[in-house]
Amino acid sequence: MNIGINAYEANVSNRVGSNQYAFRVLVELEKLLVHDDVVIYLPSDPLPDLPKERKGWTYRVLRPSLFWSIWRLPSALYAHALRGKTFHVFYSLGHYGPWYCPFSSVVTVMDLAFLQFPEFFKKNDMMKLTHWTAHCVENAKKIIVISRHTKKDVCTVYRKKGDDVILAYPGFEHEERHLSVSEVLHKHHIQQPYLVYIGTLQPRKNLVRVVKAFEHVAQSHHDLSLVLAGKVGWMADDVVRAVQQSPVKKRIHLLGFISDREKSALYRGAKAAVLAGLYEGFGIPPLEAMAEHTIPIVSETASLPEVVGDAGVLIDPYSVDDIVRGMNEVLHYTKQQREFLLEKGKKQTEKFSWEETGKIIAEVLHDVGGKV
């Protein structure tokens, strides 16, 4: 079978969220599509960690990359078709598929946060997200989604049949990291105990309320710190301002982007990991926390309850008081209570596998391509 893949989302450094999903799916597909002829389209040279070229697995770099999805990639696909060549299916590892595609297409949708919380997105981004996603979803034969919550949203908003929206959870593989907790804490001048958030700093992560909740908890836990680690995203000024103006700002650490090894150590040393986002398409950080033997405190909204099962503490993200309640609950656990929940967390992470994710998507591609 001839398969084309738009791997724009996978070919970036410092991968987060959708980039990580795209990359790991691409890695798994290279292992699985060994009897197919696969061409991967990129706007720049493949990064060294992408699967190596082999017979039946080749990269095609299209330059210039300007207007990649609306002009450069579609024009290449139509030129491909005009030469009498065909793809039985064309798969985009994100929801920005080519605006025009002469082949049966499959796209991936991470979430519809831009429709739920348009105020958290730039106006230009909103226009692109709204119109492009709708166009690509409506024209796709199948849509890959990463949670039951996103599937429900896609079916409702775009009126797609349930059979056309395929759930392929992000996988998870725990890798041993070899930086000690003390080494990382010393580097960033952090003392235990602390609560940690790891992820992009942006409005829908609800970090202003997390800071406010920490201020309340800090009154009765005088040695407790809050660590916020991750790159600063768009519209993060309110978060930075909340930290700078906090009466306990000396106990709040803004670290910026950190390496995977530092991330692992920060989780291992934390009392709990807090992910009180207003909307998550899935939520890898709670899985990472549970794998590192840390209790996740997560929002009871969107997909997060799917991720943690009964191994985490659920909170109402709109209520500072309830975030306080969740923090205090974990801080007051006995050793036995902690160990019981941590064991559940370990078992929960075992439910998610990149190998299984790849198998589901490969099956979808063969199903769609086989109907051409």
pLDDT score of 65 more than 90: no
- The model's pTM: 0.85
What mean pLDDT value characterizes the chain?
Answer: 93
Q: Tell me, what's the pLDDT at 206?
A: 94
Q: Which CATH class is domain 181-349?
A: alpha beta
pLDDT score of 67 more than 60: yes
Q: Tell me, what's the pLDDT at 202?
A: 87
Domain extent listing, the chain: 2-171+353-369, 181-349
Residue-wise pLDDT for 197-244, tens only, equals 998 898 889 999 999 999 999 999 999 999 999 988 777 889 999 999
For the segment 312-341, the average pLDDT, to the nearest whole number, is 97
Q: Tell me, what's the pLDDT at 286?
A: 92
Rounded to whole angstroms, what are the CA distances from 59 to 82, 170, 207? 20, 24, 40
Q: Tell me, what's the pLDDT at 372?
A: 56
Least confident of 82-86, 91-95, 324-328: 82-86
Residue-wise pLDDT for 136-178, tens only, equals 999 999 999 999 999 999 999 999 999 999 999 998 877 776 7
Residue-wise pLDDT for 98-134, tens only, equals 999 999 999 999 999 888 888 888 788 888 889 989 9
User: What percentage of the chain carries pLDDT values higher than 90?
Assistant: 78
- So what's the architecture of 2-171+353-369 in CATH? 3-Layer(aba) Sandwich (3.40)
Q: Tell me, what's the pLDDT at 15?
A: 82
Same fold yes or no, 2-171+353-369 and 181-349: yes
Residue-wise pLDDT for 86-100, tens only, equals 999 999 998 889 999
Residue-wise pLDDT for 247-277, tens only, equals 999 999 999 989 888 999 999 999 999 999 9
